[in-house]
Amino acid sequence: MRINTELVRELNHSSESRHHQQFEFLQEQFQQKGINTEALINKLQQFQVAIPSWALGAGGTRFGRFSYGGEPANLEEKIRDVGIIHALTQSAGAISLHIPWDVPGDPEVIRKLAADEGLIFDAMNSNTFQDQPEHQQHSYKFGSLCHTDRNVREQAVDHNKQVIDIGVSLGSKSLTVWLADGSSFPGQLNFREALARTLDSLQEIYRYMPPDWKLFIEYKPYEPSFYSTVIQDWGTSHLLANECGENAYCLVDLGHHLPNTNIEQIVATLLWRGKLGGFHFNDSKYGDDDLTVGAIKPYQLFLIFNELVNIPENNPAPAWMIDASHNLKDPMEDLMQSLEAITLAYAQALTVDRDALEQARNANDVTQAQEILQNSYRSDLRPLLREARKRAGGAIDPIGAYRKAGVREKLIAERGLKTVATGL
Ligand code: PSV
Ligand code: MN
């Protein structure tokens, strides 16, 4: 199943005139406010978010997993699925692989396949949170890079080195390390020694990276460890990144914060230090990456983008990725909803009147500062997103087009109802 430009044009046909009216109306409003529509469209078209290879199948919980049907059974099919999402949205031009779930047979063939779909390889992800008996001698039950046993640490470091090698063969330029290392009971772990051992292991991985690569260090306060996590927060991630070197950065995953954490402030701090390397988007009511981006806290997402639109020169462009779980919905529809929410928050943040906001801040006009932000947040910029997509060759209404084209039905016919994608 593939979606080509011809088909997208056909699918767009019925939405064309309605879209035109809505876009004209929005453009007039932009003119009145002195906002440059073309510059906005240009920025939106440049903005690409990577799709993780493990998000294309139905996710499970520890209580069960309900398959979706037509799920990709191998790396080639995962790339094809991201190709479909990219063809419709024109904003998912990259895929992020998790090893050993996605070891490529022939890297050249995989590279070509991705290029045919207009995709590049974003950050590589290592996995030392699960045991893969056929690939490893020692267990990660009590940690990996932090483990008390040198042999386990060496095995985990070697795995990360292999992931880098695979990434190099595919043209990726970064490695994301997320560790499940931690403890579930007080007394289990010597905090200081565990952190020191983790740093030691990370430094060895860092030294192995090619000079044009970046290391992203992801943090998470709990789960699967329920008492302590070795890299629990942005401060720990920042400390480790600093100790590793200038190509090591922090990775912020929205779901990896305790309730009510001010994530936008963390983003601002990391940007100030030039250490924000990557971003995992998702949403949650209670924790981690349970829900579609923007499903619960769209205003928080906007406030985060309000910080992200101004990337200072000392911080390289962060890597954007969705990292969400899909338990009930069609994963591809869910990913398209996430892309829409992310792009919308980005567009809204781009329309904030920065000069007026700074003036209000400097005058301590609290009400006005809030008004400025909320005016942007409350404007419906969806016609702008549709126009940017349409001009780039994408669908005016990606989910509508996906359904009209019968993508899922065709995938089920091709792949069967009972395929299971590798992942969590
Ligand atoms: C962990 O919760 C995480 O956010 C990390 O990014 C992992 O690599 C990913 O989910 C998938 O397991
Ligand atoms: Mn993540």
Mean pLDDT of 8-18: 96
Which atom of ligand 1 is closest in space to residue 282's alpha carbon?
A: 4
Q: pLDDT tens digit string along 340-393?
A: 999 999 999 999 999 999 999 999 999 999 999 999 999 999 999 999 999 999
User: What is the rounded distance in angstroms from the CA atom of residue 324 to the CA atom of residue 331?
Assistant: 10
> Which pLDDT belongs to residue 422?
67
Q: Which ligand is nearest to the CA of 223?
A: 1
Beta carbon of 280 within 6 Å of any ligand 1 atom: yes
Q: pLDDT tens digit string along 129-160?
A: 999 988 899 999 999 999 999 999 999 999 99
Q: pLDDT tens digit string along 188-227?
A: 999 999 999 999 999 999 999 999 999 999 999 999 999 9
CB 179 within 8 A of CB 221: no
CB 192 within 8 A of CB 221: no
Structure tokens at 92: 């998912």
Provide the whole-model pTM. 0.97
Nearest to 402 by CA among 92, 24, 53, 102: 92
- 287 band by pLDDT with thresholds 50, 70 and 90: confident
Q: Which ligand is nearest to the CA of 280?
A: 2
Nearest to 389 by CA among 379, 378, 399, 404: 399
Cβ contacts of residue 73 below 8 Å, gap of 6+?
415, 419, 420, 421
Beta carbon of 122 within 6 Å of any ligand 1 atom: no
Question: Any idea what DSSP says for residue 53?
Answer: G
User: What is the rounded distance in angstroms from the CA atom of residue 371 to the CA atom of residue 394?
Assistant: 34
Exposure of 43 by Cβ count < 10 A (0-12 exposed, 13-18 middle, 19+ buried)?
A: middle
Which atom of ligand 1 is closest in space to residue 129's alpha carbon?
A: 12
Q: pLDDT tens digit string along 213-266?
A: 999 999 999 999 999 999 999 999 999 999 999 999 999 999 999 999 999 999
Strand duo 182-183 + 319-322: pairing = unpaired
Please count the other Cβ atoms lying within 10 Å of the Cβ belonging to residue 85. Answer: 29
Exposure of 277 by Cβ count < 10 A (0-12 exposed, 13-18 middle, 19+ buried)?
A: buried
Helix axes 382-391, 37-46, angle to 10 degrees: 70
* 27 Cα: distance to centroid of ligand 1 (angstroms): 40
* 402 Cα: distance to centroid of ligand 1 (angstroms): 27
- 327 band by pLDDT with thresholds 50, 70 and 90: confident
- 423 band by pLDDT with thresholds 50, 70 and 90: low
CB 72 within 8 A of CB 421: yes
Structure tokens at 404: 């009209």
Cβ contacts of residue 247 below 8 Å, gap of 6+?
206, 209, 211, 213, 214, 215
Q: Ligand 1, residues 175, 178, 325: which to mutate, most atoms within 8 A of Cβ?
A: 178
* 280 Cα: distance to centroid of ligand 2 (angstroms): 5
User: What is the rounded distance in angstroms from the CA atom of residue 190 to the CA atom of residue 173?
Assistant: 34
Beta carbon of 253 within 6 Å of any ligand 1 atom: yes
Secondary structure of residue 55 in the 3-state scheme = helix
Residue nearest to atom 9 of ligand 1 (CA): 323
Beta carbon of 424 within 6 Å of any ligand 1 atom: yes
What is the residue whose two structure tokens read 């051992």? 197
Which atom of ligand 1 is closest in space to residue 127's alpha carbon?
A: 8
Q: pLDDT tens digit string along 38-65?
A: 999 999 999 999 999 999 998 888 888 8
User: What is the rounded distance in angstroms from the CA atom of residue 96 to the CA atom of residue 251?
Assistant: 14
Helix locations, 90-129, DSSP H: 107-116
Beta carbon of 323 within 6 Å of any ligand 1 atom: yes
Residue nearest to atom 8 of ligand 1 (CA): 178
Residue nearest to atom 2 of ligand 1 (CA): 288
Residue nearest to atom 6 of ligand 1 (CA): 178
Q: Ligand 1, residues 127, 159, 174, 218: which to mutate, most atoms within 8 A of Cβ?
A: 218
